[in-house]
Structure 1
Amino acid sequence: MTRKADMTAHPTIGDSQKPSRRAIAACVLPVALLLSVALEGSAQAAEPVATCGSTITTDVTLTADLFCPSGDGLILGSNVTLDLGGHSLIGSGSGVGVQTTFPSEGGNTIRNGTIENWATGVQLQEESPTRTPYVVIDVVLRNALLIHGPTNGTALQMTRVTADDSTVYGQLGGDLAISESRFTRSPVNLFYASATIVKSTLVQSHVSTTARGQVIIDSSTLDGKGAGSPGSMSETGITITNSAVKNFAEPIGGFWGGVTLTGNKFSDMPDGVLGDVSYFASEAVSTITDNTFLRTGVALRGNVPMIVENNTFKHGEVAVEFTRAEPFPGDPPHTAEGSRAVGNVIMNHTGSGITTELPGLEVGGNTAKNNGGYGIYAPGAVDLGGNVAFNNDLGQCVGVVCGRK
C-alpha cells in the first residue's frame, strides 16, 4: 500500500532519481541466487529414493549396495530404467528383488549391477502395449531366478547377463533374446514362448521348450560337465547352429518335435546327441547337416523322419540308428520313408556306422571304415549310389552296394 502511495506521489522519475546499475545488480543477484537455490532444492526433492519396498516411477541409479532383510526390493513403474550403478541389490532369500507394477505399460530397463539372493530376482509381470522390449543388460543374477511372463508377445532382451544358480523362465508369450551371456546351473525354461541364444555360454544349463515357439542357439558353447541334457522339447523344436556342445550325460530328447543341427561340434556325450524326439509325429522332421560328432555313443537315435547329411562321426558306438516306435494295433508297419543318410563319413566306431530295420531309407555317398559292426546295415534301403565301406568287422554293407576306397 505504501508503494502505491509513493508511486502516486512521484509519477515520473528524473535522471537524477534513477537507481544506478550497481544498485539494480545488487537487487537482482540475491533474487537470482534465491531462485537458483529454490530450483536446486526442487530438483533434489524430485530425485527418487530407492529403498526396500519402494515404487520407482522415474529413472533411478543406486549409489550404494541395497540390502533388504525382508519383503520385496524395488518396484518399477512404466518405462523406468533401474541403473544399479555397479552395486548390488541383495535379499534374504525370499521376496522379489525387482518387479514391475500392476498395472504397467512395461518398457523397463535393468542394468549395470548385481541382483542377489532372492526367491525371485526379476519378475516382469506386465506387458508393454506397444510391445517395447524389456531390457536386462550387464547384470549378474546370483541365486535370483528371472520370470518373464507377459501375454501379448513382448520380448525380453538379455545382453551380457551372468546367471549363477538362477533359472530363467519365458512364459505365455514372453520370448527371450539372450546374447553375449554366461549361464551356470541356470536352466532356460520356456512355456508358450521362444528363445534365441547367441554368442553365449551355457554351463550345466538345460534348455527346454513346451507347446509353442522354439529354441534357437547359435555360435555358443554348451557344456554339461558330465551331467544332464542340452535340451528337451514338447510339441515344438530346437535348432543349434555353429556351436560347441560337449560333456552331457543325456541326449536331446522329448516328443512330437523336431531338431535342426547344423555346423556344430558335439563331443564326449556317451549316451548320444539326439534321442527319440519325433515320437508318433511323422510331420516332425529332424535335420542334421555338416556337424562333427566325437565320442558320442549312439550319436543319433532318432525316430524317423530324419535327414542326416554331410556329417563326420568318429570314435563312437554307432553313428546313426533310424528307428520308429511300434505301430498301434491296426496301423500299417512303419517305414523310413522321408529319411535319408547322404554324404556322411563314419569311422572307428565300436558298432555299425548306419543302421536301420525300416525299409525305405535313402542312402548315398557315405563312407564307413574301421567300424566294429557293419559299415551300413539297411535292408530295404533306397540305394542312391556312391557308398564306400571297408575294414568293417561284421561286413561292409547290407541293403546297398558299397565300393571300396
Structure 2
Amino acid sequence: MRTSAVLSGLVLVAGSVLVAAPAQAALAPVPGCGAVLATDSRLTADLACPSGDGLTLTPGVTLDLKGHTLSGSQTATGIVLPNLGDVTIRNGTVTGWGAGVQTYDTWEEVGGTATITKVTFHANRNGVDTSGRLGATGKRHEISRSTFTENWSGVSGIYGGAHVVRSTFTANGTALNFITGGITLEDSRVEGNGTAVNCDESGCEIRRSKLVGNGIGLDVRTFGADVYDSTLAGNDTAFTSFGVWGHSTIEGNTFRDNGTAVTLWSSNATLTRNVFRGNETGFTTDGGMPFYTATLVGNRFVKNVDAINFEAPGTSLQDNVANDNERWGIYAPNATDLGGNRAKGNGYEPQCVGVVCPDSGPVS
C-alpha cells in the first residue's frame, strides 16, 4: 500500500509538471506572395512569386521556410527586412531574386540584427544584401550554416556588415563583396567562385576557413584584411592587395598550389608563420616606397616554383625558410635583413639574394 501511494504521488507530480509546461505556439501559415508578416510565420509549400516582392518582415518576426523554396523575379526582393528591429529567417531556399534578402529605405535609420540560418541562396543577383544607411551602418547580419551558389554576389553590402559562420559558397561571381562595410568569416568554405572575398574600404577578417579554387581568393583595398589559420589553395591568386594604407595581417595560414600566393601592390602587411607549398610564386611585392612597408617573419616556403621573389625596397625579412623550391629561394636584393633567414636546395644560385642566410653562403 505504501509503495502504491508513493508511485501514485510520483505520477501526480510528473503529471503536474507536464501540465505546467507551456505549449509552443504554432507558426502562422504565410498567406501568399506580397504578404507583410506581423507574426511568426511558416511556409506550408513552395511559393513562387512571378512579380513583386516576396515577403516583408516586421520587427521581431521569425520566418521558417520549413524546407520549402521561395522563388521570384530578378527585379524584386525575396524577403524584405524592416529598417529597425530583429528578425530571423531559417530552413529553406531563396532563389531567382534580384536580392534574396534586403533592407529597403536605407536613407532612414537602420539597426537591429537579421539572423539567417540553414538557408540556401541560389541563382539570385545578390543572395543577402546587407547595405545600410549612407555614411553610417546597416542592420547586423548573423549568417550560419547557409549555402550560397550561382549568385552574382553571395553576401554583399555598402555601409553594411555580416558575420558568417559554417557556411559554403560555390560558383558565385563574388562570394562575399563589401565596400565601406565589414565581414567576419569563420569556419566556412569558399570554393570555385570568380572572387572569394572582395574587401574594399572595409574591415574584413577571415578565420579557420578554406578559400579553394577561386579566381581570386582575397582582393583587398584601402583598409586591409586580417586572415588567420585558414587554407588558401588552388586559386589563380590567393591574396592580392592594392593601395592598402591601413594594414593586413596574414598569420598561421597555409597557401598551397596557387598561381600567386601573396602579391602586394603599394600595401602595408605583415605575414607571420604561414606555410607556402606548391605555388608558382609564394610572395612578391612592388614595394610602394616610401609610404608602404611589409614584414615577413617565420614563414616557410617549400617546393614552390619561386618562394620569395621581388626587387623593390620596403620589405623586411626575418626567420623565413625557403627550401627545395624549383627556382628562387629568397631573391630580395633591396630587402631589409632582420636576420635568421635560411634557404637550401633551391634551383637558382645563390640561395639568398639581399639577405644573409647562414647555411647558404654570403649575400649576393
Q: TM-score range by the shorter chain?
A: 0.7 to 0.9
Q: What does residue 98 of structure 1 align with? A: 55
Q: Which residue among 311, 328, 346 is the counterpart of 1:357? A: 311
SS state at 1:116 partner: strand
Tell me the equivalent position of 1:237.
203
| 8 Å contact kept, 2:92–2:118 | yes
- 1:121 offset after TM fit, Å? 4.8
Deviations 1:298-345 (A, max 9, x none): 1000232111111111111111112245xxxxxxx53653x2111111
Instruction: Decide which of 306, 309, 327 is 2:269's aligned counterpart.
Output: 306
Contact 2:165 2:186 in 1 (8 A): yes
| Larger Rg computed on CA atoms | 1
Classify 1:238/1:204 alpha carbon distance in 2 versus 1 (closer, same or farther; 3 Å).
Answer: farther
2:253 alignment counterpart: 291
Provide the residue aligned with 1:202 in structure 2.
169
What's the CA shift string for 1:207-232, capped at 9, x where partnerless?
11112x311110011111xx401011
Tell me if structure 2 keeps the 8 A contact 1:322–1:336: no
Match of 1:81 in 2: 40
Q: Which residue number corresponds to residue 387 of structure 1?
A: 341
User: Superposed, which structure 2 residues align to 1:294-373 within 5 Å?
Assistant: 294-303=256-265, 304-324=267-287, 333-334=289-290, 337=293, 339-351=294-306, 353-373=307-327
The answer for unaligned runs of 5 or more in structure 1 is 1-57, 326-332
Could you give the per-residue CA deviations for residues 226-248 of structure 1, whole angstroms, max 9, x where no partner exists? x4010112211321110111110
Q: Which residue of structure 2 aligns with residue 127 of structure 1?
A: 83
Misfit runs of 4+, over 4 Å? none
SS in 2 for 1:273: strand
Structure 2 counterpart of 1:217:
185
Q: Is the 8 A contact 2:148 2:170 kept in 1?
A: yes
Rounded Cα–Cα distance in structure 1 between residues aligned with 2:60 and 2:238:
39
More strand by proportion, 1 or 2? 2
Q: Which amino acid aligns with 1:83?
A: R
Q: Assess if the C-alpha contact under 8 Å between 2:287 and 2:315 holds in 1.
A: no
| Match among 95, 103, 126 for residue 148 of structure 1 | 103
Separation in structure 2 between the aligned mates of residue 254 and residue 240 of structure 1, nearest angstrom: 12
Letter in 2 for 1:162: T
Q: Distance in 1 between matches of 2:292 and 2:155?
A: 33
Give how far 1:360 is off: 3.6
Q: Is the 8 A contact 2:287 2:313 kept in 1?
A: no
- Asked if the contact 1:335–1:359 (Cα under 8 Å) also holds between the matched residues in 2, the reply is no
| Paired positions, count | 314
Question: Which residue type is aligned with residue 40 of structure 2?
Answer: T
CA distance in 2, matches of 1:285, 1:354: 20
The one-letter amino acid of 1:310's match is: R
Q: State the Cα distance separating 1:127 from its structure 2 match.
A: 2.3
Deviations 1:33-61 (A, max 9, x none): xxxxxxxxxxxxxxxxxxxxxxxxx9622
Structural RMSD (CA): 2.2
User: What is the TM-score when the length of structure 1 is the normalising length?
Assistant: 0.72
Deviation at 1:402, TM superposition (A): 0.9
2:216 is paired with a residue of what secondary structure? coil
> What residue number does 2:240 align with?
275
Aligned residue number for residue 137 of structure 1: 90
Whole-Å separation in 1 of the counterparts to 2:129 and 2:278: 37
Q: 1:177 aligns with which of 142, 146, 169?
A: 142
Deviation track 1:83-107 (CA, whole Å, cap 9, x = no partner) reads 224x222222x2111014xxx6x22
- Match of residue 14 from structure 2: none
Residue 28 of structure 2 corresponds to 60
Cα distance in 1, alignment partners of residues 358 and 200 from structure 2:
41
Give the distance between the partners of 2:311 and 2:276, measured in 1 at CA. Answer: 21
The answer to whether the 8 Å contact 2:71/2:78 transfers is no
AA at the equivalent of 2:93: V
Report how far residue 116 of structure 1 moved: 2.6
What is the deviation of 1:125? Answer: 4.6
Code of the aligned partner of 1:84: L
Residue identity matched to 1:363: L
Kindly indicate whether the alpha-carbon contact (under 8 Å) linking 2:290 and 2:314 is maintained by their aligned counterparts in 1.
no
Q: In the alignment, does 2:62 pair up with 1:109?
A: yes
